[in-house]
Amino acid sequence: MNKGWKKEIKDWALTIAGAFGISLLIQSYAFAQTEVQNISMEGTLIEGQRLIEDKVSYVLTQPKRGDIVIINGPESELRLIKRLIGLPGDIIDMKDGKLYLNGKQIEESYTRGLTEPRGLALPYVVPEGKVFVMGDNREHSMDSRELGPIAFSSLEGKAVFRLWPLDKFGNLH
């Protein structure tokens, strides 16, 4: 009887340790929770909101214009959350506070403020292996206009779901 009790504890301990290990792997390599740390995405995201980040998608598929991306690379000392605006070969232009992509004005209902170049030489062609990102709060965002293009390797993942606050709970667009 004593051996059965010890085996039961050992089995439970192994199961709990395995579940803990698997959850760490999933959080490190597949999905993670992240918090919005600044105001650069206001209009869509506000400081303090908690998000689910998909870290797997960009291993399997290419980033898309409009994705809300998490950037963690040498372009910035900070981990950033921005909207992906341009892909390699895209031509970015800004006129009269509006954004133009490949010669066409982009309708951006999610932005705040005017879209100004801030010293970026326009028109700007996004280089191969890089993307162009901007915050939705255009007048208060440090983004590709200052940092330059972002390497694909610096895209940690994309924000896909808002957890907090509960009244904003749901998918991100």
Catalytically annotated residues: 40, 82
End-to-end CA distance of the chain: give it in Å, rounded. 58
Residue 110 makes CB contacts below 8 A (sequence gap 6+) with 43, 44, 83, 136, 173
Q: Give strand ranges (E) for 104-154.
A: 104-105, 124-125, 130-134, 150-151
Closest CA to 50 of 36, 39, 68, 38: 36
What b/e string do you get for 125-135 counting C-beta neighbours within 10 Å, with b at 16 or more? ebeeebbbbbb
